[in-house]
Every structure is written in C-alpha cells, then in structure tokens.
Amino acid sequence: MSPERITSFQNPKLKHLLALQEKSSLRRETGLFVVEGRREVERCIASGFTVDTLFICPEIAGAGFPEGTAPSEAAGKVFELSRAVYEKVAYRGGTEGVIAEVKARHLRLEDLKLPESSLVVVMESVEKPGNLGAVLRSADAAGADAVLVCDPLTDLYNPNLIRASLGAVFSCPVACCTTAEAIAFLKGNGIRILTAQLQDSKPYYGIDMTVGTALVMGSEALGLGDEWRKAADAHILIPMRGIVDSLNVSVSAAILLYESVRQREERQC
C-alpha cells in the first residue's frame, strides 16, 4: 500500500509537525521531536531511537527510504509530501527531502555506564541551543563518554541543537540533571572535576587529563556558579593573548577535549 500523499498546507499532520518544531512544550507533552535530513534520521535510528512518523518528498529524496524507515518498519506512519509542501515545512535547506517525528529518550545519571578513566563534559545553564549542539559534536568527535547538561535552559531536542550537533545528540550519551546531582555523581565515580574559569586558575595544558576527568563549563554570560568552583579538583583556563577575554563555549570545549585526547594518546605511546 502506497503512503498517503499530502499536498495541502492545511493538513493537520503538517500543523502538528510545524508545532513540534516550534514549541518545546508540545515536545515535552507528546514525547516527540523533529529530525530533518537523511543523514540525521539514519544516525538517530542507528543510536536506538524510534521513528514515529516519516515525511518524505520523493521529488527530492528519490525512491529510497532512509535505512530503518521503510513503511513496514515505521508502523505504516509514512507520508509523502509534494515539493511545495516540503519546502514550506522544512526547517532548513539541503535536508534531502526527509523529515521525521521521533520518540524522545531521556537518560538519567544512573543510566550512564562509564569506563575507567572516563572523559565527561559538563555544561551548566547553557542558553543557546546552537552552542550546546556544537559542544555535543565535539564531544562525539573526541570520544567523550558522556555529556551532563546541568540546570538546562534549552531543550535538548531543539531543532537548532540537533542541526548544530550533526546528529551527535543521538550518539553521545547525554543526561540532564541538577548541578548538585552532577557533582555527587562525578565524585561518587572518582572523576576529577576541572572547571574552566578565569579566576585562580592554571593553563589547561599543565593539568593531567589522562585519569577520569570532567571538563566543566558554564554559560558565556554568567560563567560557572560557586557550587562548581568549590567542588573542583582544579581550576583551568585557556590563555588569551589578544584583546578579548573569552572564547565561544563550544570552541573552549573543543580545545579542552582535544587536549585530553592528546594526553591520552601520548600516554599510550
């Protein structure tokens, strides 16, 4: 049986899709979020997420479905969109004619299985979804074992976050929690807490990151709270040689992550 074809902008399924893109409250209420693009959908499925509804534009996507989303695999909830309708509902360009509504998954701290000498990224009260998405992309690239998002001010399944992460939000274990819960979890697992801050700090390259390490960063506007500063095993900074006194938080995260990668690879030689 061929998928139902949608050609009207007034179709209630399209209205629901657009609302999911725009409203975090609806994402929380329904337990669904939107993923755009063949690559992102396939990465989502490969990471264990379940597609609830698939929208595909054959004129753009061609005849094939993303892996794991054929009509029989998606419980028959597959719809074809005309090119005009797809271009109306697509959140961004260049997404290969594929949009999916996906069932959300929320990890708890106790769900995380960390290896010995684990590498963890902690983000406190980050407001911009694009920044958090970029941090997740770097965490995935550097092989971080988990990302803890403390006291989040942005929705983990915000479309901008998913886009900026290039699907890393699906592959990298991410748990949301309070700062107090994160500190207790890290200390309980013997993971050293390194806080990125300007005050009372040493350059990051002088700190051992080959042991269990948590790299903790705050928002660009407010920095880290006192609770983290007091809990830290070491305060670290990235030296600034120009007129600016800080880097974008995603850039800072990438620098610190790859210093840990460098140290760990050097130790194995």
Helix axes 129-141, 249-268, angle to 10 degrees: 10
The number of distinct structural domains making up the chain is: 2
Identify the pLDDT of residue 75: 45
Count of CB atoms situated within 10 Å of the CB of 233:
15
Beta 78-81 vs 4-6: how paired, if at all?
A: parallel
Sign of the torsion formed by the C-alpha atoms of 128, 129, 131 and 132 = positive
Identify the weakest region by mean pLDDT among 1-10, 53-62, 153-162, 202-211: 1-10
Is the pLDDT score of 38 beyond 90? no
CA 157 – CA 159 distance, rounded (Å): 6
pLDDT digits over 157-214, tens only? Answer: 999 999 999 889 999 999 999 999 999 999 999 999 999 987 788 999 999 999 999 9
**Which domain covers residue 53, as residue numbers?**
4-103
> At which of 103, 131, 166 does a domain end?
103
Question: Do 230 and 142 belong together in one domain?
Answer: yes
CA 61 – CA 6 distance, rounded (Å): 15
Identify the pLDDT of residue 64: 61
Question: Do 149 and 261 belong together in one domain?
Answer: yes
SS3 assignment, position 125 = coil
Is the pLDDT score of 60 beyond 80? yes
CATH of the domain at 122: 3.40.1280.10
Provide DSSP, 196-224. E-STT-EEGGGS--SSSEEEEE-BTTTB-
How much is the average pLDDT of 20-42?
Answer: 92
Question: Do 99 and 119 belong together in one domain?
Answer: no
**55, β-bridge pairs:** 79, 99
pLDDT digits over 74-120, tens only? Answer: 445 888 898 888 888 887 666 688 899 999 999 999 999 999 999 99
Instruction: Provide the residue type at 36 as one letter.
Output: E
Identify the weakest region by mean pLDDT among 25-34, 59-68, 80-89, 186-195: 59-68
Q: Tell me, rounded to whole angstroms, the distance of Cα 168 from its chain centroid.
A: 6
Is the pLDDT score of 1 beyond 60? no
CA angle 264, 268, 269 (to 5 degrees): 120
Question: Do 89 and 181 belong together in one domain?
Answer: no
Q: Which residues contact residue 12 at a Cβ distance below 8 angstroms, ignoring those fewer than 6 apart?
A: none
Question: Do 91 and 139 belong together in one domain?
Answer: no
**87, β-bridge pairs:** none
Q: For residue 147, what is the enclosing H or E element? A: strand 146-150
Rounded to the nearest 10°, the torsion over CA 142, 47, 165, 220 is: -70
Identify the pLDDT of residue 95: 66
Question: Do 132 and 171 belong together in one domain?
Answer: yes
Question: Do 253 and 146 belong together in one domain?
Answer: yes
